[in-house]
Amino acid sequence: MANHATSYSDKFVYHEPGLQHQFEDMKQQEESVSIGMWMFLVQEIMFFGGLFTVYLVFRFRFPMAFSMGSNHLNVIMGFTNTLVLIVSSLTMALTVYFAQRNKRNWQIGMIVLTMLFGLTFLYIKYLEYHEKYVDGLVPVAGWNRKVKLPGTELSAPLPFETGAVAASEQGGEEEKPYNNPRGEFQWREGSKLVSDALAEEKANPNKKVLTEYERAGYLDPTTGLVDEYRFQEKIRSFFWIYFALTGLHALHMIIGLGLMTWLLWQAFKGTFNSEYYSPVEMSGLYWHFVDIVWIFLFPLLYLLGRHLLAGG
Amino acid sequence: MAEPHIESQHMHIGIPGYLVVFGILVVGTILTFVVALQDLDWIFPGANTFVALAIAFTKMSCVMLFFMHVRWSPKLIWLAAICSFFWLSIMFSFTMQDYLTRGLGVFST
């Protein structure tokens, strides 16, 4: 019974209102929460890292297919999205700042702003994806815009356009009508970089413009000329990588918006104060992490093929 | 009763500091865009990639140190953050040392 009395009185020892009973003090609690969140972020880095590895291998193997695909992405939208995410990171940091200072209304305002910027990002992403859908660049057969021009058969194989476009590129830009009765992936930009490289190699036989992998990957082994089908498959791989990376990132944005919604409700109820704001800070860590992924995705996907067009 | 507050909890650079970091991030974004339009291969092959990654790493460091408060975090957090890049570099380098030395392999067709 004596023991009972001791533990009874223990319950009235002062502790901070936000302190969970299993922790010694707020410092220990804070650190445990952060290290848990950081462990989660580390595995997220490895999660995205797998896809970045795919990107790395592809880019080392097929730099020309990479730069043609990369140049085809909408760089203005990518650039705008980068800025939108950076602003949302600022408002997220300020959310934590105001939560630590018991400023409930400012905190709510900042969460709402963060959510608005997050939604803007997703809307621009949607516009970008829609553009790819319209152009027939979604790498899954049947997921593209279906247009059946009169005089073409639905069951016939997709008329192969890249060769024709590449041929017409010599004579100038000629827009071919979009014809894609079964919504397949198609690449209408030709393979000009590769044929230029071949011409350059022909001019100086000592110069190797194409790598061994590219030679095997783009060229017809019998004729030694560009095989449009093979080249198209490499472009298709690029768009797989593009959609996988940006799609996974967009999924993280959607999850982040879910977190923000919950945070908004909690902040509205006045849950957070200078003593207890871990959920705000942890959601912030997640949001900033998603921002960091985009900081890498934007130059790697949208920009790194571009200097080849700038001509140097 | 008045448990002294852990100082490190509220350490940060304040609103002006946040705005400075934000400014650096915006400038970095514009810079990476402008530089990507120039062909830097005359410096060394792949200079464009190097510059773009250098800017991205700078931006990431700013976000991590100040927005994610790593600068005022315990050493354990530093360790977790740095180790993640160590594991990532293992994944990249071991994969690439295989792919780069393997001949044509599955990508030949």
By the 8 A CB rule, do A187 and A236 touch?
A: yes
Q: Do A295 and B60 touch (CB under 8 A)?
A: yes
- pTM for this predicted structure: 0.88
Q: Assess if residue A1 is contained within a domain.
A: no
Q: Give the Cα separation of A293 and A305 in Å (integer).
A: 19
Q: Which of B22, B31, B68 to mutate to test the interface with A (most CBs of A within 10 A)?
A: B68
> Higher pLDDT residue, A93 or B100?
A93
By the 8 A CB rule, do A59 and B52 touch?
A: no
At B6 the pLDDT is: 46
Q: Enumerate the residues of chain B whose CB falls inside 8 A of the CB of residue A27.
A: 6, 9
Residue A226's SS3 state is strand
Annotate B54-76 with three-state secondary structure. HHHHHHHHHHHHHHCCHHHCCHH
CA distance A102 to chain B (A): 12
Domain of A303? 25-307
Q: Which residues on neighbouring strands pair with residue A147, listed in sequence order?
A: A180
Q: Assess if residue A43 is contained within a domain.
A: yes
Q: Do A310 and B87 touch (CB under 8 A)?
A: no
Residue A157's SS3 state is coil
Chain A residue with the nearest C-alpha to that of B95: A53
Q: Do B107 and A83 touch (CB under 8 A)?
A: no
Q: Give the Cα separation of A86 and A138 in Å (integer).
A: 28
pLDDT tens-digit profile of A63-87? 999 999 999 999 999 999 999 999 9
Q: Which of A37, A81, A90 to mutate to test the interface with B (most CBs of B within 10 A)?
A: A90
Q: Assess if residue A169 is contained within a domain.
A: yes
Q: Do B36 and A306 touch (CB under 8 A)?
A: yes
Q: Assess if residue A12 is contained within a domain.
A: no
Q: Give the Cα separation of A279 and A231 in Å (integer).
A: 49
- What b/e readout covers A203-235, taking b as 16+ CB neighbours within 10 angstroms? eeeeeebbeebbbbbbbeeeeeebbbebbbbbb
Q: Enumerate the residues of chain B whose CB falls inside 8 A of the CB of residue A96.
A: 69
Does B109 have pLDDT greater than 60? no
Using the Cβ of B12 and the Cβ atoms of chain A, whether some distance falls under 8 Å is answered with: yes
Split into its structural domains, chain A has a count of 1
Q: Assess if residue A140 is contained within a domain.
A: yes
Q: Assess if residue A18 is contained within a domain.
A: no
By the 8 A CB rule, do A210 and A262 touch?
A: no
Residues 6+ apart with CB under 8 A from A43: none
Overall residue count recorded for chain A in this entry: 312
Q: Do A86 and B38 touch (CB under 8 A)?
A: no
Q: Give the Cα separation of A69 and A289 in Å (integer).
A: 27
At A148 the pLDDT is: 82
Task: Supply φ then ψ for residue A180, to 5 degrees.
Answer: -150, 75
Q: Assess if residue A252 is contained within a domain.
A: yes
Reported confidence tier of residue A282, pLDDT bands at 50, 70, 90: very high
Whole-number mean pLDDT of chain A? 86
Stretch among A187-201, A285-299, B15-29, B72-86 having the lowest mean pLDDT: A187-201
Chain B residue with the nearest C-alpha to that of A36: B77
Does B13 have pLDDT greater than 70? yes
At A187 the pLDDT is: 86
Does A163 have pLDDT greater than 60? no
Domain ranges within chain B, ordered by starting residue: 12-72, 73-103
Q: Which residues on neighbouring strands pair with residue A219, listed in sequence order?
A: A226
Q: Which of residues 43-72 of B touch A (CB under 8 A)?
A: 48-49, 52-53, 55-56, 59-60, 63-64, 66-69
Q: Give the Cα separation of A282 and B50 in Å (integer).
A: 32
Task: Kindly state the tokens that stand for B9.
Answer: 């909890």
Q: Assess if residue A50 is contained within a domain.
A: yes
**Cα torsion angle, A153, A156, A157, A162, sign:** negative
Q: Enumerate the residues of chain A whose CB falls inside 8 A of the CB of residue B40.
A: 307, 312
Chain A residue with the nearest C-alpha to that of B87: A46
Chain B residue with the nearest C-alpha to that of A229: B109
Chain B residue with the nearest C-alpha to that of A82: B29
Q: Do B38 and A83 touch (CB under 8 A)?
A: no
Domain of A69, CATH number, reads 1.20.120.80
Using the Cβ of B9 and the Cβ atoms of chain A, whether some distance falls under 8 Å is answered with: yes
